[in-house]
């Protein structure tokens, strides 16, 4: 083989191993590095050799305005004239990562530390300190990463103090203009919206990425997943309408108290559903030491996240001309309209005390799919008063030209009723598989919403995942699980209703825990385990850190208490007005 051939092979291998970073992609994986949460953390440079991660977030700058860094086992040297870490190896690794096409951000905050500002002016001054110390500024001599410069800053603020961060980022943006490269800003809010710590930052500054923590919360992916609430934020609140939203997950079962997803099919279904959102950016992981050590089917969890994003997410968005599903969102009480793709469709639904007559739905057609009405149990119900209970059966057949996302403007719905409408309990359901779910609460909506859901290889995994519509305030609908598919489903509303009450051991345990919390007993033991969660007697969120309970204020309108959901118990900040249900 000639020298020229060897050179071509060598050069090609370098090109293939270095990917250009695309901030607009929906397949990026962001990972936190530095806290050695798994116990066997490798060097930053070692992890950057993997093609499975795109953004590396150094954690943490845990003290400021007076600088204090902590990278666990990765750095212990300090400057001779201060206690500030001097991390020459990390500096080399940052440059190695950047040469491989990775972006390296420095994260400020963390769950423990001493940080914050008294006013905006102090925060703006600190922006210059950050720029001089970790960016392309020149006002300091002690640079922890020597001549290496990070690619931006992440704000993982968790002390419920929001003062100054928007001003800090806005000042950084002006300093970035003098830089030689593109700099990025990210934030890591908890999934409950709005976040008490970085909510103001997200609403009043230009943020590129939001690494939303869907773990250790009631809005975890497998619980009350509220990604659409964050999409609403991106589209209607964020100053940056192109902000990329990441689903933050634990890298293993030991990385967080709740929220880890071991079932890869659940992740596939999630990605297949979220890839239609232009603001979806990918998955973020806490942390890489956990995700790299956690193996499923002989591959790391980190590998699987990237593989799923690139194969499921990309395939889902490219199947815009495969088959369309239509959901006519019209409901009495709380209901879900379930879509299952087939060539033709018939919907048979029996509704007591009312009739719904869809009319004038105009669309071009090349394929069609059924609209199946599936029952949902309302969390609250009351009596329905009616005269004579007329029963109407409506058969609906619809054909539609498949597209990824359409809104049919020429859609009208005629609604007539002979009763006073209140939420009711819907019963007697069978054989329902959900490809996409649109949930409404006691409203009548006249637009038909179309989503593309049938992508052959994705249909099976998507059937196990429900994407429910939420708003910026909590809903009271309790979701029910689905079984196998059927092209025709008959559902009947109850002619009389009774209040839904759940008396389970989980509920009783939640009540007991809240009594325990109210007495200031936390976990009821004299000691606590690292990462264990509880509530203080005054409603603060408590986490065990090095054998001591550390408390945090809950966001306005929320308080800390235990509650049960689907026979599981959660302790977290939740809406104050719901607490009485668990006392």
**How far is the C-alpha of 213 from the C-alpha of 208, rounded, in Å?**
16
Mean pLDDT of 241-253: 98
Asked whether 565 and 582 are in contact (CB, 8 A), the reply is no
For residue 531, is it within any domain? yes
**How far is the C-alpha of 150 from the C-alpha of 105, rounded, in Å?**
6
* Shared-domain flag, residues 45 and 157: yes
Q: What pLDDT, on a 0 to 100 scale, did the predictor assign at position 11?
A: 43
Work out how many domains the chain is built from and give that number: 3
For residue 165, is it within any domain? yes
Residue 425, number of CB atoms within 10 A of its CB: 18
Last residue of a domain, one of 270, 303, 318: 318
Mean pLDDT of 238-248: 99
Mean pLDDT of 483-507: 44
For residue 3, is it within any domain? no
For residue 6, is it within any domain? no
Count how many residues are written for the chain: 583
Outline where DSSP puts E strands in 251-374. Answer: 280-286, 295-296, 299-300, 324-330, 334-339, 347-352, 354-359, 367-368, 371-374
* Shared-domain flag, residues 91 and 50: yes
Residue 92 DSSP SS3 = helix
Which residue, 219, 212, 178, 216, is CA-closest to 197? 212
For residue 194, is it within any domain? yes
pLDDT digits (tens, 9 = 90+) for 6-48: 444 444 444 444 568 999 999 999 999 999 999 999 999 999 9
Which residue, 445, 482, 443, is CA-closest to 466? 482
Answer yes or no: pTM beyond 0.85.
no
Last residue of a domain, one of 288, 318, 348: 318
Domain extent for 216: 18-318
Burial of 48 (0-12, 13-18, 19+ CB in 10 A): buried
Cα–Cα distances in Å, from 454 out to 432, 437, 466? 16, 14, 14
Please name the residues in contact with 63: beta carbons below 8 A apart, sequence gap of 6 or more: 69, 113, 114, 115
* Shared-domain flag, residues 417 and 362: yes
For residue 357, is it within any domain? yes
Q: What pLDDT, on a 0 to 100 scale, did the predictor assign at position 318?
A: 53
For residue 411, is it within any domain? yes
Burial of 314 (0-12, 13-18, 19+ CB in 10 A): middle
Which run of H or E residues covers position 570? strand 568-575
Give the strands of the sheet with 405-408, arranged side by side. 324-330, 444-452, 405-408
For all residues of the chain together, what is the average pLDDT? 75
Cα–Cα distances in Å, from 529 out to 218, 550, 562, 568? 21, 12, 18, 20
* Shared-domain flag, residues 164 and 129: yes
Q: What pLDDT, on a 0 to 100 scale, did the predictor assign at position 315?
A: 67
* Shared-domain flag, residues 525 and 465: no
* Shared-domain flag, residues 514 and 457: no
Beta-strand pair 299-300/295-296: antiparallel
Q: What pLDDT, on a 0 to 100 scale, did the predictor assign at position 552?
A: 78
Residue 462, number of CB atoms within 10 A of its CB: 26
* Shared-domain flag, residues 95 and 115: yes
Burial of 409 (0-12, 13-18, 19+ CB in 10 A): exposed
Last residue of a domain, one of 257, 289, 318: 318
**How far is the C-alpha of 372 from the C-alpha of 516, rounded, in Å?**
45
CA 261, chain centre distance (Å): 13
Please say if the pLDDT value at position 386 is more than 60: no
Per-residue confidence band for 545, with pLDDT thresholds at 50, 70 and 90: confident
Residue 60 DSSP SS3 = strand
* Shared-domain flag, residues 450 and 544: no
Outline where DSSP puts E strands in 453-503. Answer: 477-478, 492-493
Kindly tell me the number of DSSP H helices and DSSP E strands found in the chain. Answer: 13, 33
* Shared-domain flag, residues 304 and 441: no
* Shared-domain flag, residues 527 and 459: no
**How far is the C-alpha of 129 from the C-alpha of 143, rounded, in Å?**
11
* Shared-domain flag, residues 87 and 207: yes
Instruction: Report the percent of the chain where pLDDT is more than 90.
Output: 55
Q: Which residues of 215-231 are buried (b: 16+ CB within 10 A; e: fewer)?
A: bbbbbbbbbbbbbbbbb
Please say if the pLDDT value at position 537 is more than 90: yes
Please say if the pLDDT value at position 336 is more than 60: no
pLDDT digits (tens, 9 = 90+) for 298-329: 999 999 999 999 999 776 655 443 433 333 33
What are the residue ranges of helices labelled H in 390-504?
Answer: 459-462
Residue 340 DSSP SS3 = coil
Please say if the pLDDT value at position 341 is more than 90: no
Please say if the pLDDT value at position 374 is more than 70: no
Mean pLDDT of 104-119: 95
CA 492, chain centre distance (Å): 34
For residue 340, is it within any domain? yes
Residues with catalytic function? 158
Which residue, 99, 96, 92, is CA-closest to 15? 99
pLDDT digits (tens, 9 = 90+) for 270-304: 999 999 999 999 999 999 999 999 999 999 999 99
Beta-strand pair 354-359/412-417: antiparallel
* Shared-domain flag, residues 415 and 460: yes
Label residue 429 left, alpha or beta by phi (over 0 means left) and psi (-120 to 50 means alpha). Answer: beta
Please say if the pLDDT value at position 402 is more than 80: no
Among 71-80, 98-107, 396-405, 514-523, which is the least confidently predicted range? 396-405
Instruction: Return the ∠ at Cα 186 (arms to 183 and 187), rounded to 5°.
Output: 160
pLDDT digits (tens, 9 = 90+) for 190-217: 999 999 999 999 999 999 999 999 999 9
More confident residue, 248 or 359: 248
Instruction: Report the percent of the chain where pLDDT is more than 70.
Output: 63
Per-residue confidence band for 555, with pLDDT thresholds at 50, 70 and 90: low
Beta bridge pairs of residue 426: 493
| CATH code of the domain containing 197 | 3.20.20.80
Residue 337 DSSP SS3 = strand
């Amino acid at each position: 083989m000639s020298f020229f051939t060897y050179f071509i092979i060598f050069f090609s291998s370098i090109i293939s191993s270095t990917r250009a970073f695309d901030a607009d992609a929906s397949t990026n994986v962001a990972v936190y590095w530095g806290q050695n949460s798994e116990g066997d953390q490798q060097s930053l440079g070692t992890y950057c050799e993997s093609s499975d991660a795109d953004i590396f977030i150094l954690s943490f700058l845990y003290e400021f305005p007076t600088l204090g860094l902590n990278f666990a086992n990765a750095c212990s040297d300090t400057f001779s004239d201060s206690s500030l870490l001097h991390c020459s190896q990390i500096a080399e690794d940052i440059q190695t990562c950047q040469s491989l096409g990775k972006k390296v951000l420095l994260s400020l905050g963390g769950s423990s530390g001493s940080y914050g500002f008294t006013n905006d002016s102090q925060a703006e001054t600190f922006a210059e300190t950050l720029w001089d110390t970790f960016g392309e500024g020149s006002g300091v001599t002690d640079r922890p990463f020597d001549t290496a410069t990070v690619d931006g800053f992440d704000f993982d603020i968790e002390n419920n103090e929001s003062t100054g961060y928007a001003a800090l980022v806005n000042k950084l943006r002006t300093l970035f203009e003098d830089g030689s490269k593109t700099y990025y800003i990210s934030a890591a809010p908890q999934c409950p919206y709005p976040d008490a710590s970085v909510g103001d930052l997200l609403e009043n500054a230009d943020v590129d990425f939001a690494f939303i923590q869907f773990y250790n919360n009631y809005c975890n992916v497998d619980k009350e997943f509220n990604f659409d609430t964050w999409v609403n934020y991106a589209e209607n609140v964020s100053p940056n309408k192109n902000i990329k939203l990441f689903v933050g997950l634990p890298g293993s079962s030991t990385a967080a108290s709740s929220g880890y997803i071991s079932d890869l099919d659940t992740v596939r279904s999630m990605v297949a559903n979220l890839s239609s959102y232009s603001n979806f950016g990918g998955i973020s992981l806490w942390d890489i030491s956990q995700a790299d050590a956690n193996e499923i089917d002989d591959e790391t969890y980190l590998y699987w996240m990237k593989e799923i994003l690139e194969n499921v997410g990309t395939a889902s968005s490219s199947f815009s001309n495969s088959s369309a599903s239509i959901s006519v969102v019209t409901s009495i009480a709380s209901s879900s309209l379930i879509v299952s793709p087939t060539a033709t469709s018939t919907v048979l639904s029996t509704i007591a005390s009312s009739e719904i007559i869809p009319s004038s739905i105009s669309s071009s057609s090349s394929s069609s799919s059924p609209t199946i009405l599936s029952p949902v149990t309302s969390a609250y119900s009351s009596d329905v008063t009616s005269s004579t209970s007329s029963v109407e059966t409506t058969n609906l057949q619809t054909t539609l030209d498949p597209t990824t996302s359409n809104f049919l403007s020429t859609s009208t719905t005629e609604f007539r009723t002979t009763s006073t409408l209140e939420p009711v309990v819907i019963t007697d359901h069978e054989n329902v598989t959900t490809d996409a779910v649109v949930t409404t609460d006691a409203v009548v909506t006249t637009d038909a919403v179309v989503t593309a859901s049938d992508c052959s290889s994705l249909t099976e995994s998507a059937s196990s995942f429900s994407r429910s519509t939420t708003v910026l305030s909590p809903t009271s609908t309790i979701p029910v699980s689905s079984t196998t598919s059927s092209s025709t489903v008959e559902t009947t509303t109850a002619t009389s209703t009774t209040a839904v009450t759940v008396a389970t051991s989980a509920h009783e345990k939640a009540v007991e825990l809240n009594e325990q919390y109210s007495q200031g007993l936390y976990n009821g033991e004299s000691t606590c385990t690292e990462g264990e969660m509880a509530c203080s007697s005054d409603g603060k969120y408590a986490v065990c850190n090095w054998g001591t309970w550390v408390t945090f204020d809950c966001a306005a309108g929320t308080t800390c208490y235990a509650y049960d959901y689907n026979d599981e118990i959660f302790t977290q900040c939740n809406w104050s007005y719901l607490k009485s249900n668990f006392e």
